[in-house]
């Protein structure tokens, strides 16, 4: 271990009668992943941000009648470094998390989409909470990441059976006027990428589009334009999901609001940078999917939701341009 860590050290005491303030401070320290060196002495690997957080906490301790001193120190030698790092061992936390994934896998297939989405949000929150305070990640972190990715893949098969694999090909520019009054086909039981793609087709590409909802991709008629399944005319390409591929294909990528929508669909379909509106859309989608009698009704209902989100993004980006090739 060549590099010796610099530590932010918080030394604190509380009057014995102030149990409430002591508990509040303890919870804050635990949430930040502080290690307990001994009673009243807490460690964090030093960064300016963490030191500022501890400085703020020290101020609140002083205001509550306690005393707090914030220090900075470096490990004296590799042996002490190893001892201090061991205080931050998250192996047990990761093992508990992986065990919860194993338990959840057993019941995942029988749950409705709304419950699966809710479970994913809870598990993601648990996973992120561990990773945030895992200051010295090791093999347990890697194993948990693999288990999480496997679980996400399984959840995708429940939420969206037959999810396509990304193709490696060039996205060709297409003229919208050559794709009018066509029949478009995708897998039934619509989920995020498919419902958003169908909305995009009807709203911006082919206003008189007719849709077929397929029990199996193999049932796609030869004269239909398939989307969002392996071998379809429009599907995942590289890092782009089907919605994003359609946007680029038909020259709609100069519309900032559609790009924002694409980022939301991308985050929900394959992960990536979080989009604030995504959780709300996912919840509405799961509820609408439970209520709708068929995919036509689901598209109509979610189409109105997407109209509203598009209007919101248009206003927030200050760009009402819906340009592109005609």
Distance CA 299, CA 252 (A): 21
Among 46-55, 148-157, 214-223, whose mean pLDDT is lowest?
148-157
Res 215: pLDDT: 87
Res 324: pLDDT: 44
Res 326: pLDDT: 44
Among 168-182, 212-226, 266-280, whose mean pLDDT is lowest?
266-280
108 has pLDDT over 90: no
311 has pLDDT over 50: yes
- Rounded percentage of the chain residues whose pLDDT exceeds 70: 95
Residues whose CB is less than 8 angstroms from the CB of residue 205 and which lie 6 or more positions away in sequence, other chains included: 176, 179, 246, 250
Q: Which of 11-15, 120-124, 193-197 has the highest mean pLDDT?
A: 193-197
Res 2: pLDDT: 65
Res 1: pLDDT: 54
Mean pLDDT taken over the chain:
90
Segment 285-296 shows an average pLDDT of 90
**Reduced to 3 states, what is the DSSP secondary structure of residue 44?**
strand
Could you tell me how many residues make up the chain? 326
CB neighbours (10 Å) of residue 137? 14
- Specify the DSSP element, H or E, that contains 286: helix 278-291
Q: pLDDT, tens digit, for every residue of 199-208?
A: 999 999 999 9
Name residue, tokens 């006027």.
177
Name residue, tokens 């009057």.
15
- What domains, with CATH codes, occur in the chain? 6-86 (3.30.70.930), 91-159 (no CATH), 176-317 (no CATH)
pTM above 0.95, yes or no: no
113 has pLDDT over 80: no
Distance CA 226, CA 213 (A): 10
Q: pLDDT, tens digit, for every residue of 38-73?
A: 888 999 999 999 999 999 999 988 888 889 999 999
300 has pLDDT over 90: yes
Res 323: pLDDT: 44
Distance CA 321, CA 106 (A): 48
User: Where does the pLDDT of residue 16 fall: very low under 50, low under 70, confident under 90, or very high at 90 and above?
Assistant: low
């Amino acid at each position: 271990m060549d590099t010796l860590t610099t530590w932010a050290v918080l030394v604190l005491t509380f009057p014995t009668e102030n149990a409430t303030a002591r508990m509040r401070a303890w919870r804050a320290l635990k949430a930040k992943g502080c290690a307990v060196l001994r009673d009243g002495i807490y460690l964090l690997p030093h960064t300016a941000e963490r030191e500022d957080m501890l400085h703020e906490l020290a101020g609140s301790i002083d205001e509550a009648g306690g005393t707090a001193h914030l220090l900075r120190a470096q490990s004296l030698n590799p042996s002490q470094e190893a001892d201090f790092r061991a205080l931050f061992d998250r192996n047990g936390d990761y093992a508990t998390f992986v065990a919860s994934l194993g338990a959840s896998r057993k019941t995942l297939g029988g749950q409705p989409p709304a419950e699966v989405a809710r479970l994913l949000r809870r598990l993601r929150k648990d996973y992120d909470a561990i990773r945030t305070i895992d200051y010295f990640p090791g093999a347990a972190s890697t194993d948990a990441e693999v288990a999480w990715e496997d679980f996400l893949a399984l959840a995708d098969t429940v939420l969206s059976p037959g999810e396509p694999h990304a193709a490696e090909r060039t996205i060709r520019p297409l003229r919208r006027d050559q794709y009018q009054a066509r029949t478009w086909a995708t897998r039934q039981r619509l989920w995020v990428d498919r419902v958003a793609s169908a909305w995009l087709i009807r709203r911006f590409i082919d206003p008189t589009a007719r849709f077929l909802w397929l029990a199996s991709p193999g049932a796609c008629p030869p004269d239909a334009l398939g989307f969002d399944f392996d071998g379809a005319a429009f599907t995942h390409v590289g890092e782009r999901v089907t919605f994003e591929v359609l946007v680029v294909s038909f020259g709609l990528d100069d519309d900032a609001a559609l790009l924002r929508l694409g980022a939301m669909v991308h985050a929900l379909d394959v992960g990536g940078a979080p989009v604030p509106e995504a959780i709300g859309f996912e919840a509405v989608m799961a509820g609408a999917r439970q209520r709708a009698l068929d995919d036509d009704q689901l598209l109509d209902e979610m189409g109105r939701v997407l109209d509203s989100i598009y209007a919101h993004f248009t206003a927030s980006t200050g760009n009402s341009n819906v340009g592109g090739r005609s």
